Chain A
């Protein structure tokens, strides 16, 4: 790789040991992917900050970096963590203590404690064609696909390395030629809610691996629909970018989405959407003791919709309802009265954490209902929950009744 004199000094340790290590990570990736040089980036987003991901080994790694003077040099946001800093959920004390150590270490390095997987809902919005180094697979797919920014599927440490150095290797989705579609999915199924978009992403993600899907037939989606489609593609598969013809910025037409590439065509009807939903459902017993909404974190509009659905109703006394968002959206939602409406109905609006990165299993829940394809995918492995997957309406019904109705 070609390095500037300044980059060579960073690699030689003249700017400190953390910068040297960061450069080593970036150069290793550059070599693997055949990058010819490093390029400047304008922001980074660091994921994997839950104690579940870091463990004690990762926690000590981060503290050691902060102790040795590691400081970020571009705006760097923090992903979802494992505790809600505004309240005590009776999580195990050791969990809370070690989780806060991780957050403190990254904040000492200068990262913003946004603690959210949707930094673009709180002011961090990469522009079209901007080069960034974000981790959090759902955010990677969103920034590439919907915003047209340029990002590879970073891991937490490589995103931190980019935050510390302001650089990333030039390869992958930073280059025009790698952003074209591979397979065309002609969607004839009606997509009426987030769960439908999630089921589509789940079905296609399992089939396509790390290739770039192009969707034709998606009409007038809300931003949240695209967030959930991307989150499903990225969790069920390894997708870092999709196109939706007439919807996303690099796909005004099918031709523009594929360039000169040859592609296969796959039809998506209602049958495939149902199959996507079935694959996300692992529960057999109808009883539901935990309902969770908001993976990725809810937008203000999602919180408003939850408030409208819950107004005047009451969550079953044997069921817990959590609605996940970040502190920025929660503050707005409180000002507008949505938080109060949800909590008067017996639900809880959480900040900072989420189901899969938090520790709700420590509170004894067993059976989850959700409209989130990402949560449904990870909860069996991360929390040990059995899962019902369906629409927000179905989830609210499950919260009120304590049982799932298909």
Chain B
């Protein structure tokens, strides 16, 4: 049984994967090891965890504007997330995801933090702006 939620397409493409839920903004420049996809920002809630191959839910990007290149590198190195779900995507994540071809959906009609939990299988169709959560 899948829950389907509509959102807004930011960066096109389709992907599916295991959800990783993060309530804090993520700064990609200097905040992640691009060789592994492990978050390295001190005091961050995902510190030491890998975002590789996940469907990553986080509110928005933050910090250094060099982060677009890092998102691009993660995509090229295949150490990045399969797809991104944001509350509100900002420029750093949007541009990096468009350059790297990572599907991104934001502004969902329902609060994703009440629907998506770590380990859920989530399908993201950013061509249509839809996500499906398998329960």
Contact = CB atoms under 8 A, between A and B. Distances in A.
A96 B62 CA distance: 28
Contacts of A378: 29-30, 63-64
Given A155-B68, A157-B99, A53 B29 contact: yes
Q: For the side of the interface on A, what is the size category?
A: 35 or more
B64 A235 contact: yes
Given A57-B72, A153-B90, A135 B66 contact: yes
Contact of B99 (A61, A152, A210): A61
Contact of A25 (B60, B73, B92, B95): B95
Given A54-B69, A136-B65, A238-B61, A380 B42 contact: yes
Q: Tell me if A's interface is mostly helix, strand, loop or mixed.
A: helix
A366 B129 CA distance: 46
A153 B89 contact: no
Interface string A44-80: 0001111011110110010000000000000000010
A209 B62 contact: yes
B91 A154 contact: yes
A29 B99 CA distance: 12
A199 interface: no
The listed residue with most A CB atoms (<10 A of its CB), out of B43, B59, B62, B73, is B62
Contact of A55 (B40, B69, B95, B98): B69
A158 interface: yes
Given A155-B65, A238-B25, A382 B30 contact: yes
Contacts of A32: 8, 10, 89, 94
Interface string B47-74: 0000000000001111111111110110
Contact of A50 (B40, B65, B66): B66
A234 B90 CA distance: 14
B64 A137 contact: yes
B41 A140 contact: no
Contact of B94 (A24, A29, A159, A381): A29
B112 interface: no
Contacts of A238: 25, 60-63, 90
The listed residue with most A CB atoms (<10 A of its CB), out of B64, B65, B92, B99, is B65
Contact of A61 (B40, B41, B61, B72): B72
B63 A52 contact: no
Contacts of A381: 30-32, 40-42
Contacts of B131: none
B37 interface: no
A122 interface: no
A52 B90 contact: no
Nearest to B106: A32
A140 B25 CA distance: 19
B34 interface: yes
B95 A158 contact: yes
B65 A156 contact: yes
B96 interface: yes
A210 B68 contact: no
Interface of B: 8, 10-11, 25, 27, 29-32, 34, 40-43, 59-70, 72-73, 76-77, 89-92, 94-96, 98-99
Given A29-B94, A55-B70, 16 more contacts: A28-B95, A32-B94, A47-B65, A48-B66, A48-B68, A49-B66, A52-B30, A61-B72, A152-B91, A155-B65, A155-B95, A155-B96, A156-B69, A235-B64, A238-B25, A378-B64
